[in-house]
């Protein structure tokens, strides 16, 4: 579960076409961010989602007077992504005799 102030890594920066008309700044996959706020949100498909704003990115206000945010599923806790990278590196290291 994500928390305010937590460091996260963007794991999905594939946005729908035309999104740049509504946002000034978008997260980039592999970059580290800090969660500024967590709120209930609504996706482009009008389905409810958990939304986050990021300390490093600021965007215009959307409908309802809240800053445009991002689906929390686009981010992974930094500790988790670092652990995955270490495990992958261990798997790819040649065996020593």
Every domain of the chain and the residues it spans: 7-92
Say whether pLDDT at 75 is over 60.
yes
Q: Could you tell me the pTM of the whole model? A: 0.77
Average pLDDT, the chain: 85
What tokens were used for 15?
Answer: 């946005």
Instruction: Quote the pLDDT of residue 80.
Output: 57
- Overall average pLDDT of the 60-68 stretch: 88
d(CA 95, CA 61): 53
- Half-sphere exposure (CA, 13 Å, Cβ side) for 60? 8
More confident residue, 51 or 88: 51
**Predicted confidence (pLDDT) per residue in 4-37, tens digit:** 999 999 999 999 999 999 999 999 999 999 999 9
Instruction: Quote the pLDDT of residue 96.
Output: 43
What tokens were used for 18?
Answer: 């035309």
What tokens were used for 89?
Answer: 């590196």
């Amino acid at each position: 579960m994500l928390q305010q102030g937590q460091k996260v890594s963007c794991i999905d920066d594939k946005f729908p076409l035309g999104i740049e008309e509504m946002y000034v700044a978008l997260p980039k996959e592999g970059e580290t961010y800090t969660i500024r706020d967590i709120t209930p949100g609504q996706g482009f498909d009008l389905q409810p989602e958990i939304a986050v704003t990021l300390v490093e990115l600021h965007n215009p206000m959307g409908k309802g007077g809240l800053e445009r945010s991002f689906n929390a599923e686009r981010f992974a806790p930094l500790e988790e992504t670092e652990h995955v990278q270490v495990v992958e590196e261990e798997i790819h290291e040649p065996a020593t005799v």
